[in-house]
Amino acid sequence: MVSEQEPAYKVIFVRHGQSTWNKANRFIGWTDPNLTKTGELEARVAGQVLLAAGYEFDIIYTSLLKRSIKTAWVVMDELGLHHVPVVTDWRLNERCYGALVGRNKKECVRVYGEDQVKLWRRSFDVRPPPISEDSSLWPGNNRKYDFLERALIPRTESLQDTQARSVDCWDNTIVPTIRSGKRVCVCGHENNLRSLLKHLDGVSDDDIRHVELPRAVPLIYHLDENFKPIRLEGAAPHLNGRYIGDAEEIAAIMARDLANVYDLSVESNLEESDVPHYAAKLDDLLQPCELTDDAFGERGGLDELNCRESDIEETPLFIYKSHEDAARARV
Ligand SMILES: O=C(O)[C@H](O)COP(=O)(O)O
């Protein structure tokens, strides 16, 4: 039976926006490419979708990788939550893709076949071949990880390996924070989030093969007092949580991502297509327009105690149709 009763706790998961290596269709893992402009826009739309749905956070957890950290910043920017801590934790890093890191995913399908690449990407316990410790792409050669015990720096990881550290972070860091009454967002990666959701929802080793996460689409979870998910109406397949966004847009994102790796008849790189997909139908949610003092309604224009007009450097990309939302977005 589907329940929409007020849960004991809520938590939101968001995968980062497009990075330069997503755009190039490469395996990324612990490598640290930047967000693209499209990725930043994806993150902005995620923030706006959350704003429109009335979400606020007291803390956001993310990895040590800048595609997720910057996504978290952009989401919080859209929510007007610049003062809220963005806490980084290596345990929320993407799964280490071993020797596949840097390789083009569709090229790997051509060379190794669809079944092998599916095993590497979506199975629970299969590790890709390990990366050499001599490689500049091995995270152990990145001084960012100097603080981490060397034995903990992976040369490759299965989803199961990733789950061990993600769940450790969930149980010992995130759950106590949620229990203390803080409203939490977790901004992460396809596989570290898949591993966490597998744990939370008790998804079987077989079913987890079919769980794919679209980029920058907020996924809401309602939890009971024991931190068990309460199934939501419209829940994503195999999960108990529900995406916030337009169902058709989300389906288009999923179809694009699958075709971009596995459909060998598609020669072009769909990440480079001129028609990006976002979690929202932009026409429904957003309306580009001029920012005027009137947009701030009863707040009587800009608050001179906190902000001079010259401090506003850029016109926002999108302004809400609703003036009330626009005012909240800029608080
Ligand atoms: O590390 C990567 O390549 C991506 O973040 C996720 O990749 P996947 O969708 O191929 O698992």
- pLDDT tens-place string over residues 77-129: 999 999 999 999 999 999 999 999 999 999 999 999 999 999 999 999 999 99
Q: Which residues are catalytic?
A: 16, 94
| pLDDT reported for residue 143 | 96
For the chain, residues classed under CATH 3.40.50.1240 are 9-283
Residue 219: in which H helix or E strand, if any?
Answer: strand 219-223
Q: Which ranges constitute the DSSP H helices of the chain? A: 20-23, 37-52, 66-78, 105-112, 114-122, 159-169, 175-179, 190-201, 247-262, 282-285, 323-329
Q: Whose CA is nearest to atom 2 of ligand 1?
A: 28
Distance between alpha carbon 255 and the CA centroid of its chain, in Å? Answer: 18
Residues forming the annotated binding site for substrate?
Answer: 15-22, 67, 94-97, 105, 121-122
Q: Does the CB atom of residue 32 touch ligand 1 within 6 A? A: no
**Token pair for residue 23?**
């755009």
**What predicted TM-score, i.e. pTM, was given to this entire model?**
0.88
Whether ligand 1 lies within 6 angstroms of the CB of 190 is answered as: yes
> 28 alpha carbon to ligand 1 midpoint, in Å?
6
How far apart, in whole angstroms, are the C-alpha atoms of residue 54 and residue 49? 9
Residue type, 198: K
What string of pLDDT tens digits covers the 331 residues of the chain? 444 678 999 999 999 999 999 999 999 999 999 999 999 999 999 999 999 899 999 999 999 999 999 999 999 999 999 999 999 999 999 999 999 999 999 999 999 999 999 999 999 999 999 999 999 999 999 999 999 999 999 999 999 999 999 999 999 999 999 999 999 999 999 999 999 999 999 999 999 999 999 999 999 999 999 999 999 999 999 999 999 999 999 999 999 999 999 999 999 999 998 677 889 887 665 544 444 444 444 444 444 455 444 444 443 444 343 334 444 443 3
Fold of 9-283: Rossmann fold (3.40.50)
Query: Could you give the CA distance from residue 28 to residue 137 in angstroms, rounded to a whole number?
Result: 10
pLDDT in tens, 255-295: 999 999 999 999 999 999 867 788 988 766 554 444 444 44
pLDDT at residue 159 in the model = 98
Nearest residue (by CA) to ligand 1, atom 6, is: 190
Does the Cβ of 97 fall within 6 Å of ligand 1?
yes
Tell me what pLDDT residue 275 has: 74
Q: How many angstroms separate the alpha carbon of residue 32 from the centre of ligand 1?
A: 12
In the reported structure, the alpha carbon of residue 119 is separated from the centroid of ligand 1 by a whole-number distance in angstroms of: 13
CA distance 10 to 195: 19
Pocket residue to mutate for ligand 1, from 166, 191, 211, most atoms within 8 A of Cβ: 191
Beta-ladder partners of 286: 320
Task: Extract the annotated binding site.
Answer: 15-22, 67, 94-97, 105, 121-122
Which tokens is 192 given?
């570290």
Residues 6+ apart with CB under 8 A from 76: 47, 57, 60, 82, 84, 86
Q: How far apart are CA 276 and CA 252, in angstroms?
A: 10
Tokens describing residue 99: 């020797």
Q: Which ipTM value was assigned to this complex?
A: 0.97
Atom of ligand 1 nearest to the CA of 194: 11
C-alpha of residue 22 to centroid of ligand 1, in Å = 8
Collapsed DSSP state (helix, strand, coil) of residue 278: coil
The single-letter DSSP state of residue 25 is: T
